[in-house]
A = this chain, B = another copy of it.
Amino acid sequence: MEDPAPSSGRSAFVWLVGASQVVGLASVVLTGVWMGHFRGGFAWDGTAQEFNLHPLCMVLGLVFLQGDAILVYRVFRNESKKNVKILHGIIHLLALIISIIGFVAVFDFHRAAKIPDMYSLHSWCGMGTMILFCVQWVLGLVFFLLPVASSWLRALYLPFHVFCGLVLLAMAVGTSLLGITEKLLFSIMPTYSKFVSEGVLANTLGILLVCFGVLLGYLITKEDYKRPPNPEEEALSVHFKTLTEGGSPTTP
């Protein structure tokens, strides 16, 4: 199927997707450098090195992969919807697994170091984001990948699923920024105001995460970049749904 967007719009789209990937990957790399170079590297032994896996997993899973899982609907907007849907689910599953590792890392570190859990705004926002992310993943699976929900129910839920996806991405970026601020004030409060390299690097990471969120938000919400309606696909979907529900198709 041909792309109805004019070539200038298509060219801007390619550049914006490219920019989002550069910014997103740079964020993951910068998190790795921050934790690896400035904070002593990584381990799974209850020490601060286990904590260091937390920011890396969250930025990789909950920000970068979650963003890219949404973006596949725009990048592959002319491919088979079923395949794109499966890819969307797989990347989200990967994001979920990595986020859970990051989540366990911080609770494990807190337990070993006898640090109380869930008292900070970062932890409140992070817990809210993780719960919503899990609910969204399960509901997405049940509604859109398993033949359980009726077409009517799918159509009713779809706008909420899309809106919650964007809210989740914004919450993941916001919670990451809170985590950056918390970590900097816990670690380098006396020197942070002297523009030491760790502080500047972590601030830059925060700005890159905001840029990633804004680029993704633009690419996802811009009308021209949305999947064009495909009557053939819709008819097939209705046909399939009607068969699985035991009725007769409304379209041939």
Task: Show the binding face of A for B, using Cβ within 8 Å.
Answer: 115-116, 119-122, 124-125, 128, 159, 163, 166-167, 170-171, 173-174, 177-178, 180-182, 184-186, 189, 192-195, 199, 202-203, 206-207, 210, 213-214, 217-218, 221-223
CA gap between A163 and B219 in the complex, in Å? 11
Residues of B within 8 A of A202 (CB): 121
Copies in the complex: 2
B180 touches A182 (CB 8 A): no
B206 touches A124 (CB 8 A): yes
B171 touches A121 (CB 8 A): no
A119 touches B174 (CB 8 A): no
Residues of B within 8 A of A180 (CB): 121
CA gap between A252 and B221 in the complex, in Å? 35
Can you list the 9 inter-chain pairs with the closest CB atoms, starting with the nearest? Answer: A185-B185, A121-B206, A174-B174, A116-B193, A121-B203, A119-B193, A181-B181, A178-B181, A121-B181
Residues of B within 8 A of A193 (CB): 115-116, 119-120
Chain B's nearest CB lies how many Å from the CB of A203? 5
Nearest B residue (CB) for A196: B119
CA gap between A135 and B167 in the complex, in Å? 25
CA gap between A171 and B209 in the complex, in Å? 12
23 A-B residue pairings within 8 Å (CB atoms)? A115-B193, A116-B193, A116-B194, A119-B192, A120-B184, A120-B192, A120-B193, A121-B177, A121-B184, A122-B181, A125-B207, A125-B210, A159-B222, A163-B217, A163-B221, A163-B222, A171-B210, A174-B177, A178-B181, A181-B182, A185-B185, A185-B186, A185-B189
CA gap between A65 and B240 in the complex, in Å? 49
Known pairs A178-B181, A218-B163; A203 contacts B171 (CB<8 A): no
